[in-house]
Amino acid sequence: MTNKRIVIAGFQHETNCFGVTKAGLHEFEMADSWPGMLHDGRVISGTEGMNLPIAGFAAAAKVVGFEVFPVLWCSAEPSAHVTDHAFETICAMMLSGIRDAGHIDGVYLDLHGAMVTESLADGEGEILRRVREAVGPEVPVIASLDLHANVSAEMVEQADYLSIFRTYPHLDMAETGARCVPVLQRLLAGETLYKAFQTVPYLVPLHAQHTGSAPFNEIYQMPASFEQQEILAEIALGFTAADFPDTGPSCVVYASKAEKAAAVAEEIVNVFMSREVDLDCSMLSLEEAVLTCRQRREKPVVLADVQDNAGAGGTSDTTGLLAALIEGGTKNALMGLFHDPESAKQAHEAGEGALVKLAIGAKSDLAGNVPVKAEFEVLALGDGTCRYIGEMYGGSVATLGKTAALRLVGHEAEIDLIVTSIRNQCLDRAHFTHIGLNPTRYSVICVKSTTHFRADFEPIAGDIFPVSSPGAFLCDLEKVPYNCITRRLPYTGGASFSQHKDIGPLNSEHPIQYLRDTYDTSGDDITADSVALRVSYKF
């Protein structure tokens, strides 16, 4: 067992089908919050010690004595579709590396689970299919996936095991990769793991997926409880901006007996159904956000501009919340990160201490987005090298490009903000402190993030509120112009089922069995047609 030779590779992208810009090869080659494209030995040395699945796998593999053969690792900031050129180029490099490895005993892939390309709806399903075709049916192929994975039957069928994050914010990425090692040991020893895959018939917006809050703080305790029975249960919540037939929550269960796996998958989905009414999908309006800023607190209020999250394919340059705070005369506020290379360049040309007229934001092609034109004082300038300090990314170095800290002048409102030259989700206090701004000194902190910011900002926050401001990543699912999804919107107790979309039955080439669900509706009048269907797959 100690001399087993394992190929490892990674290819990650979370696709917002409604985004503005696509992910070409350059986006996978450049560094952002994570390293740029890594090859061969740099895959290990370039990710060592980071909270990344491939780093966790490599470290755990070393402990058990696996011989690891690294091929390639890359990721790109979430955006619209991955270009066909990028997908085919990276897949070709990955498959070439697998062939060059010679004799191998297993394959580990660090994937996301919500990749959509210009031509493929199920990017990861195709990656796994090609890898399986290359190595044959006898070589174990395992992969780690993001909690936001839109798991497809193809992914489950082609992989012997899928390990999925269990936290959002994703504090367990390295741990998720490491969990693959003992499973791979079992497979290499000849053990058979039977699979059961079930989908949940409703979508969950990302701002409601926080695993530190109900119901997911309880649902994500289930995998650990099943491990005591030697049952591996993996749960994904889906990425709602990927307009894809398999978008939505699901579970994959592995056990020594098929009936055990099926029973546990059924149990997990039943819990999803019973806890649906506990989802909190609420957001503050802009008017409500301004009002809450006026309340006195001992600690800052944190407003999350959830629909302009670069980490979900947002442009990170919308100005709705900024404009509302200015109009409302908000005092002692801090905001970031604005992806605005033009303003960053102008600030650098003007120099620290200068007053400069800028048009902040709206540099992308997002419809309806307009810049905020005002005069700003240049507080500080930087090259954008930002070493993270929070629990999620601590130790990693982000590349933000030319960066500027700015202060609004000539208005009643008191607002400082940061502009960057590279799009990046504001999820760590280091995004502010690296350029000299201390978030704890502000009464209001506005972050362009959906949930990841909680890992580092919750300890200093008095209150946290998601805010509904226009952006390319819609959390109000009623407004998403879907064409391909097969699941309904969630029922959260505020309206009857008939007022929600009922997308019905899933269209799949895989063998499926449709199961009608019974809801505890507390008196709601529900007809058979208004009850969505969930899907279980037989392999």
- Identify whether residues 148 and 208 lie together within a single domain: no
Evaluate if residue 309 carries a pLDDT over 60.
Answer: yes
Same domain, 143 and 228: no
Taking the C-alpha atoms of residue 74 and residue 110, their distance in angstroms, rounded to an integer, is: 9
Residues 511 and 446 occupy one common structural domain: no
Tell me, yes or no, whether 154 lies in a domain: yes
Is there a single domain that holds both residue 291 and residue 158? no
Residues 276 and 290 in one domain: no
pLDDT in tens, 196-239: 999 999 999 999 999 999 999 999 999 999 999 999 999 999 99
pLDDT, position 539: 63
Q: Are 284 and 467 in contact (CB under 8 A)?
A: yes
Whether 263 is in a domain gets the answer yes
The residue out of 191, 213, 230 marking a domain boundary is 191
- Host domain of residue 18: 1-191
349's CB contacts (< 8 A; 6+ apart) are: none
* Tokens 């793991």 found at: 193
Q: How many whole angstroms separate alpha carbon 26 and alpha carbon 500?
A: 41
CA 391/CA 369 separation, integer angstroms: 33
| Structural domain ending residue among the three candidates 447, 467, 487 | 467
Q: Is the peptide bond before 215 cis (omega within 30 degrees of 0)?
A: yes
CB neighbours of 28 closer than 8 A, spacing ≥ 6?
Answer: 13, 36, 37, 74, 75, 76, 86, 90
- pLDDT bin (cut points 50, 70, 90) of residue 2 is low
Assess whether 174 and 266 both reside in one domain. no
Residue whose entry in the numeric block shows the structure tokens 């199920």: 122
CA 286, CA 292: separation in Å to the nearest integer? 10
For residues 231 and 328, membership in a common domain is answered with no
Instruction: Please tell me whether residues 270 and 176 are part of one structural domain.
Output: no
* pLDDT reported for residue 297: 92
Cis bond before residue 337 (omega within 30° of 0): yes
Q: Quick one: CA dihedral 73, 76, 81, 85, positive or negative?
A: negative
Assess if residue 372 is contained within a domain. yes
Residue range 129-172, pLDDT digits in tens: 999 999 999 999 999 999 999 999 999 999 999 999 999 999 99
What pairs with residue 533 in β-bridges?
516
Residue 414 lies in a domain: yes
Computed on alpha carbons and rounded to an integer, the radius of gyration of the chain in Å comes to 23
Pair 306, 452 in one domain: yes
The answer to whether residue 455 is domain-embedded is yes
- The pLDDT of residue 172: 98
Amino acid at 274: S
Same domain, 390 and 458: yes
Question: Do 313 and 450 touch, CB atoms closer than 8 A?
Answer: no
Residue 424 scores a pLDDT above 90: yes
Residue 463 above 90 pLDDT? yes
Are 169 and 147 spatial neighbours (Cβ–Cβ below 8 Å)?
no
CA 336/CA 334 separation, integer angstroms: 7
Q: How far apart are CA 8 and CA 31, in angstroms?
A: 20
Residues 258 and 316 in one domain: no
Last residue of a domain, one of 426, 444, 467: 467
For 390-502, where are the E strands, in sequence order? 397-399, 403-409, 415-420, 444-447, 463-467
Q: Where are the beta strands (DSSP E) in 122-171?
A: 141-145, 161-164
Burial label, 56 (beta-carbon count in 10 A; 0-12, 13-18, 19+): buried
Domain count, the chain: 3
The pLDDT tens digits of the residues spanning 397-407 come to 999 999 999 99
Q: Is residue 3 part of a domain?
A: yes
- Contact criterion met (CB below 8 Å) for 2 and 62: no
Residue appearing with tokens 């993996």 = 234
Instruction: Look over the chain and give the mean of its residue pLDDT values, rounded to a whole number.
Output: 92
Output the domain CATH number for residue 162: 3.40.50.2300
Mean pLDDT of 173-180: 98
Residue 419 lies in a domain: yes
For residues 50 and 113, state if they share a domain.
Answer: yes
Q: Is residue 472 part of a domain?
A: no
